[in-house]
Amino acid sequence: MKIFLDTIDLTEIKKYNEILEIAGVTTNPNLARRFGMSDDIEMVKEIGKVIGKNKEIHVEAFGDTSEEIIKNSHRIKKNCSNLNLVFKIPFSEEGVKAAKFLKKEKYSTNLHLIFSVGQAIISSSVNSNYICPLIGRLDDIGHDAIDNLSKIISSYKIYNSKTLVMGSSIRNLNHVINCYKIGVDAITIPMKVVKEMFNHPLTDTGYQSFKKD
């Protein structure tokens, strides 16, 4: 399972890039605003300085129309051509149209805001590199997000889909564990949960006991 950091906190990215074998970083406009980045180009370049040019940076290619999405993808790629970019595209008719076009231009895509098997099927049909089914947001409205994710993964395996499934909107450690159990290809984890994955009270007490002895 590929692990991505769901943050643009450069200090945290640097720290955990040195600790873990991360596959890359995922970003969104909300994070950019929260961390005071002036624009998406600065954000991508600063992350690239930390993780290098080979690891993936998933960056939003936003737009109301396919033309706007494609134009934004071209703009970002032109200014960050040396980095390994995956363009996050909100799922919609216009988003799928843009992803199909960008794939023909050899761009990597991640259709996100996915909530159903039907949306996952459409995304696979245009060979999107990734889809991002959201877990926390679906749980919030009373649905079983992990069961939904499991159905997507099962359907992809039956038809040997090349589209990778990335678990996102991770709220807690159980989300990570359940994603691992059902075989997601990748997961993007917020820093709060990454830190939780390192901790267990028995590890701490065992260490202190060994240290004392």
The catalytic position among 15, 49, 55, 88 is: 88
- Do residues 44 and 57 touch, judged by C-beta distance below 8 A? yes
Cα–Cα distance measured from residue 196 to residue 145, given in angstroms and rounded to the nearest whole number: 21
- Do residues 125 and 131 touch, judged by C-beta distance below 8 A? no
Please list the alpha-helical segments (H only) found in 35-144.
40-51, 66-79, 93-104, 117-125, 136-140
Would residue 157 show up in a list of annotated catalytic residues for this protein?
no
What angle do the packed helices 117-125 and 93-104 form, to 10 degrees?
A: 30
- Active-site residue set: 88
